[in-house]
Structure 1
Amino acid sequence: MSETALKSGAGPAPGPRNLITDVPGLAVGQAEDLGARTGVTVILPEARAVCAVDVRGGGPGTRETDALAPENLVEAVDAVVLSGGSVWGLAAADGAVAWLGARGRGFRLADRPGVPPSPVVPAAILFDLANGGDKAWGEDPPYRELGRRACAAAGADFDLGTAGAGYGAAAGGLKGGTGSASILSADGAVGALVCVNSWGSVTAPDGRTFWAAPFEIDGEFGGLPLDGLRAGPGQWGPSKAPPPAGARQNTTIACVATDVALTPAQARRLAVMAQDGLARAIRPVHAPFDGDVVFALSTARHPLIGGDAALARLGALAADTLARAVARGVFEATAWPDAPPGEGPPAWRDRRG
């Protein structure tokens, strides 16, 4: 929807790409290692952006999230990195830091010759180590290089599904992936990007109807009727195997963004509200063996008008948009190209019947 249409009262609608990059001032880059069945996604603002984080999962893996607390020194970041690879994947942020630092980007504690800026790059990882890819990388895991490559590839358009940090993911009993969505409203633009590697199910017990179906716009993840959207207590749909087999192999990591200028505390509230999008799209979620993390970015292209009421509306939109992004990531996912028939989780599009 154009800004003209918004001003005419037509109501919120997805942006032209239906991606987080519909938020002005953002680019996204991705890189994969097909042999290792893993990848990296980088959200790259044009200028340093206010950032906050909300961590709900019981087993998170993160970098520099403490620096994002509203009371701390650094109020803005240079990129956000989402990566596969569990603990090894945190090195993807090293690649992003190197790429940004070589271009003179970062936080300047001492602005004088010979003192380089320090890029601030928070990161979160998911577990994709047990998906059958070649992880025999010894002392040279691929993630630093993947982080650098993802930065170099950043732009307005990027692939969904089996791509980036969602390349090696599994969403419950289905192939996981990278999803994104956007919404443009009179309060501002909101976008979401998510890498879905959840323990819980993204579909109802029928295995086809996405839990996020009530929030779908224009058939963006299949346009199925809501008839299958029902479940009794304890009926989740196709989740991963129960613990211990299915434990500690999960995590959904995400970033929401807006072009509205927010303080660090306001961005933190946006992240908190956006977490409900995961709860609308994944059942169960935030389990002891998930590491669910949601970042929130503000590119500050225009002021927040309307105070807390406007912030509440943006948070509600962020939650709905993140729920849509989860479903889109699984809807667009395909089987790994090197996987023989029957290996790995089935893709939703191969099971829909």
Structure 2
Amino acid sequence: MKFDLLKKDAQSQARAGQITTDHGVIETPIFMPVGTVASVKGVHQRELKNDINPDIILGNTYHLYLRPQLDVLEKAGGLHKFMNWDRNILTDSGGYQVYSLSGRRKIKEEGVKFKSHIDGSYHFFSPENVMEIQRTIGADIIMAFDECTPYPCDYRYAQRSMHMTHRWLDRCINHLETLPFKYGYSQAFFPIVQGSTYKDLRQQSAEFIASRNAVGNAIGGLSVGEPAEEMYAMTEVVTAILPQDKPRYLMGVGTPANILENIALGIDMFDCVMPTRNARNGMLFTSEGFINIKNKKWEDDFSPVDPMGLTYVDTDYSKAYLRHLFVANEFLGKQIATIHNLGFYMWLVREARKQILAGTFRDWKEMMVKKVTTRL
């Protein structure tokens, strides 16, 4: 993997860059649609590629390990071929999903024993076998196995967890060196900064991660319930330490305003289920504000879903029709809303990139934060 830093904003820490892997170029800042189980919910790969058009999507190690299972993926030739996606894929390590199974898992130094949410069967993740699993899945960018701490989190717990994550990181690195690449292309490996919302722990973790000289770095343990101000503060602490010449990935973030503010703090990569999950509940994000399409005010509004939108659904359908689909509980409504929201998120990060390259990012960002937080 190669990263080229093309332009840094003069009035913020925002960056425009380019990541190159064996599956193509990723222009940053970038948002990665979440395709948890080899599918971005409700979206055909053709629509994903032609209308939403991301350079990279995200898959999940925990879910893919359980279904369809590794033997199926290996026989298919890896996740790209299995789901017919010839662009980039990143897999997270399953650490967040294990964190979310708080009543179904037990964490020890060796790794994590957990119960499947599907059938209750027991499984074990360690730094070593998670590296093996991600090799078999075959994503272009793979993540270290870490523990994601909850919020709020006791300082001592956060400290112990951080040090264990660091020890796990070294185990991941050492084991990866013994594993050959599969499927004829290489994989890039990103470690993950932890430390909850404690400044000194975040500094320690960022320094440790930076010392491992990986090709890219991630920030985990945020967007887990903490106030946005704390997220931004911790991001700023970490980006001041992580190397400038490596891409930075803020995991699980977030709202359009969160993305804009974190781009300004020097983040290059994002993922979040919000655009798809909120779409299924009738919330549409637009460049002028957000809409609850189920509200009665849209019942006889025959204007396009979003006249400023870039996907075909934005002009092919009216707000009234889309509201009708939601009221009638017709799944097409959720599909239309999902395509729209993902299209908007892609527009947002690509417009941010244009503004960075043009030297006008800060003023544009301030204007856009006000707009995207407005209820229409």
Q: Choose between structure 1 and 2: higher helix proportion.
A: 2
TM-score (normalizing by structure 1): 0.29
TM-score (normalizing by structure 2): 0.27
- Structure index of larger Rg: 2
